[in-house]
Amino acid sequence: SAITDPEGDNIPTASGTTEPGSTVVVTWPDGTTSQVTADGTTGAWTATAPAEQPDGNVTVAVTDPAGNPGTGSGTWTSSDTTPPDTSATTVTVGAIAGDGVVNAAEAAGNVAVTVTIANPPSDAATTTVNVLVDGVPYAAVSNGDGTWTASVPGSALAGAATPTVTAEVVFADAAGNDAAPVTGTQTYTVDVTPPTTDVAITDPEGDNIPTASGTTEPGSTVVVL
């Protein structure tokens, strides 16, 4: 079998000759297939891939009119060596834990980290998103709307030497060319210390309706029971 790229578009064409009238099934590197019938007189056949292909093996399965099978193979090497253009792509990491502060409850569980990708390259065939904390990657999954979410242990966030989350996004085209990672970062703080307070209870009006007062961490919510 001969494997060529007659249009220069990384959509390969396989061709060859076999027993006239045979059924030929070509399996391309991405797993897709093309089925053709060899010419009834010459046995010549040609099959074109349905889409751009990454580098890899091309296999050919042939069944002659009597039902006898045969095989062949070849190697496809893409002429495309240009990775996706990410010059307009931006990656944004949402506020960690919703408010930028990892508290004791969040440190004890998992924290959903959201990554937003804007203007991804049009020729990206695959997108891989990882969220890194202290260099440790956590895989993110697509939400189907341009956002991705990774579940990160709160303990990793709370114990990080550097309280910064980095999202790393890698795009690859159909030929398997990887673009340089596009990154975004988000800082956060850790507060796992319960607030303390001093309490004074008085009856300023002398009417047995007490008043409680005190001081605690600024911005705290106080409930008197």
Tens digits of residue pLDDT in 10-67 = 899 999 999 999 999 999 999 999 999 999 999 999 999 999 888 899 999 999 999 9
Per domain, the residue ranges of the chain are: 2-76, 90-191
Give the residues across from 3 on adjacent strands. Answer: 14
- The structure tokens listed for 116 are 């937003």
Predicted pLDDT at 221: 86
> What's the CATH number of domain 2-76, 3.40.50.150, 3.40.718.10, 3.40.800.10, 2.60.40.10?
2.60.40.10
Please name the helix (run of DSSP H) or strand (run of DSSP E) that holds residue 140, with its range, or none. Answer: none
Q: How confident is the model at residue 193 (pLDDT cuts 50, 70, 90)?
A: confident
pTM of this prediction?
Answer: 0.63
**Topology match between the domains 2-76 and 90-191:** yes
Q: Given CATH 2.60.40.10, say whether it is the number of domain 90-191.
A: yes
DSSP-derived 3-state class of residue 157: helix
Cα–Cα distance between 79 and 176 in angstroms, integer? 11
How distant, in Å, are the alpha carbons of 90, 118, 180 from that of 87? 8, 11, 10
